[in-house]
Chains A and B, each alone.
Chain A
């Protein structure tokens, strides 16, 4: 059984922009350990020289369109769901520390 220490889970939570209380930290540490132990099964397989597949359909290729202006959402439509706005901008709390 894999063991994942709480500091690792705390670090991953920070990267994920999530805050976990002590109870959640305990629960997720043990659940992630059991999931990752199961996943470790993949190491039974030798995959040297195997190409990774990020998309299953081989014919997919990058798509370009002509760089011409066309209608998209108006600022009003795009901002309709904004929790806070100022003019045509999304408004957020203070970004830089200080007074």
Chain B
């Protein structure tokens, strides 16, 4: 039998249901794995070890949908009384007095909160390099970035250092690291999952979602975390379907749109080859391939880098040294304390985004930048509305390139921003989108395929993703560690 850490949650749950497995053994196996490998990968900013002095409490309750399953939580999601820092110095020492709704739901289903995952500071980045703890490494090539901002979550799943993980996605922060680490990452429809307890980056774009080893686990975890929450007025009051019922191995009659604007200059040859190969595969399995156009794609990055920083600059105003643990102690008066605390507490990329967002919102620039970006956002959304008139899902690459080297883009903010070019439109339009493995570059780095659906069309995404996955074996490949 393989080591338990290499299993998916659904496989482990089957063994637990048959009483062939004591769920407490999963945690200790995963903790051993973390002990052995996280020094290399650096995906964790906190590991939860059980209090061994407490007596074992007899037979474990196995009635939850995730009983005994280790789930790693991105460090921008509040876990009661546990350090939650967004990988930023400005939250050093902060321990939330409450659980995020998703964390509460995980606890209800018996999941084991195995730790907190490294990330780009406040989720500002595509490489995990802006973390105040230093970068996480890609398990497939330790000199490369794991993607970001949920890089710790994706790297830990890829390295079998957790069974599942939660990430958050504002412009691709779940899908891009999933793609670069060869795992499955889903950004749900905006409003599908409660954001209560997710430390806000851009409130109109942020969504929490699962990062898992396969599509079935993605459906399982989404089913647990989705649903209306009165603590988040942007969560949508719609019933949560049983997503595992959508795991059908059949795409006959399904129309797949392929946007021509996504296969242009800047797209890596190996990525293009793998994605085109995947489209052919789905065609062979009975899907109908439709050429579509999303004409405003080239404006998405610009609109995003106004809207995202604008919302972030306003959300991050609360970190002023008054409430959240970190404060500069050496200040004359209140304003001086704000300035010193923020100047010391925020890293370079956070400062850059705060400055950019404040600039775009400031008097005289609001109409030219912020309002203009919101109007372009409308155009981008209309592109998708029109496209979904002729197809059920849209397939694109997730990232224009495989994982780049640590340090390669850190001196070039704009170059870094452009690595989100294929993932940003889904956030602007509020659409659900998944990244699944679809091949490897010539250097052996994972490549991901993105599948976008209509609002609340997660089931169609799962059906497409599951059919592809079950007819290939990319998701079974693991890095040599």
Q: Which residues of A contact B (CB under 8 A)?
A: 8-9, 12-13, 15-20, 24, 28, 31-32, 34-36, 38-45, 47, 50-57, 59-60, 62-63, 65, 73, 77-78, 80-84, 90, 92-95, 97
Which residues of chain A come closer than 8 Å to B190, judged between CB atoms? 55-57
Which of chain B's residues 416-448 have a Cβ closer than 8 Å to chain A? 417, 428-431
A-B contacts, 13 listed (Cβ < 8 Å):
A9-B355, A31-B352, A36-B359, A42-B302, A51-B375, A55-B234, A57-B430, A78-B97, A81-B323, A83-B326, A93-B331, A93-B336, A94-B333
Which residues of chain A come closer than 8 Å to B189, judged between CB atoms? 57
Whether B236 and A57, one on each chain, are in contact in the complex, defined by CB atoms closer than 8 angstroms, is yes
A95 to B335, CA, bound (A): 8
Whether A56 and B358, one on each chain, are in contact in the complex, defined by CB atoms closer than 8 angstroms, is no
Whether B374 and A54, one on each chain, are in contact in the complex, defined by CB atoms closer than 8 angstroms, is yes
Whether B377 and A47, one on each chain, are in contact in the complex, defined by CB atoms closer than 8 angstroms, is no
* B305 at the A interface (CB under 8 A): yes
State the Cβ distance, B420 to closest chain A Cβ, in Å. Answer: 13
Whether A12 and B358, one on each chain, are in contact in the complex, defined by CB atoms closer than 8 angstroms, is yes
Which residues of chain A come closer than 8 Å to B322, judged between CB atoms? 82-83, 90, 92
For chain B, the bracket of interface size reads 35 or more
* B455 at the A interface (CB under 8 A): yes
- Other-chain contact of B373, A34, A42, A93 (Cβ < 8 Å): A42
Q: Which residues of B contact A (CB under 8 A)?
A: 93-95, 97-98, 189-191, 204, 230, 233-234, 236, 296, 298-299, 301-303, 305-306, 313, 317, 320-327, 331-340, 342-343, 346, 351-352, 354-356, 358-359, 362, 369, 371-379, 381, 413-414, 417, 428-431, 455
A17 to B322, CA, bound (A): 14
Whether A17 and B302, one on each chain, are in contact in the complex, defined by CB atoms closer than 8 angstroms, is no
Whether B98 and A47, one on each chain, are in contact in the complex, defined by CB atoms closer than 8 angstroms, is no
Whether A38 and B414, one on each chain, are in contact in the complex, defined by CB atoms closer than 8 angstroms, is yes
Which residues of chain A come closer than 8 Å to B359, judged between CB atoms? 8, 12, 32, 36
Whether B351 and A53, one on each chain, are in contact in the complex, defined by CB atoms closer than 8 angstroms, is no
Whether A17 and B320, one on each chain, are in contact in the complex, defined by CB atoms closer than 8 angstroms, is yes
A19 to B331, CA, bound (A): 13
A58 to B431, CA, bound (A): 12
| CB within 8 Å for A53 and B236 given contacts A28-B355, A90-B323 | no
A8 to B359, CA, bound (A): 9
Whether B346 and A18, one on each chain, are in contact in the complex, defined by CB atoms closer than 8 angstroms, is yes
Whether B377 and A53, one on each chain, are in contact in the complex, defined by CB atoms closer than 8 angstroms, is yes
A97 to B335, CA, bound (A): 11
Which residues of chain B come closer than 8 Å to A56, judged between CB atoms? 190, 204, 377, 381, 428-431
- Other-chain contact of A62, B233, B305, B333, B339 (Cβ < 8 Å): B233
Whether A53 and B98, one on each chain, are in contact in the complex, defined by CB atoms closer than 8 angstroms, is no
- Other-chain contact of A17, B95, B327, B339 (Cβ < 8 Å): B339
State the Cβ distance, A5 to closest chain B Cβ, in Å. Answer: 12
Whether A63 and B95, one on each chain, are in contact in the complex, defined by CB atoms closer than 8 angstroms, is no
A28 to B236, CA, bound (A): 39
The 7 tightest CB contacts between A and B, nearest first, are A56-B430, A52-B374, A83-B327, A47-B375, A63-B233, A77-B97, A50-B375
**Given contact pairs A35-B305, A83-B322, A93-B336, a sample of 15 additional A-B residue pairs in the complex whose CB atoms are under 8 Å apart:** A12-B355, A16-B358, A18-B355, A19-B343, A31-B352, A32-B352, A39-B306, A41-B299, A42-B299, A50-B379, A52-B378, A54-B204, A57-B236, A81-B93, A81-B95
A43 to B373, CA, bound (A): 10
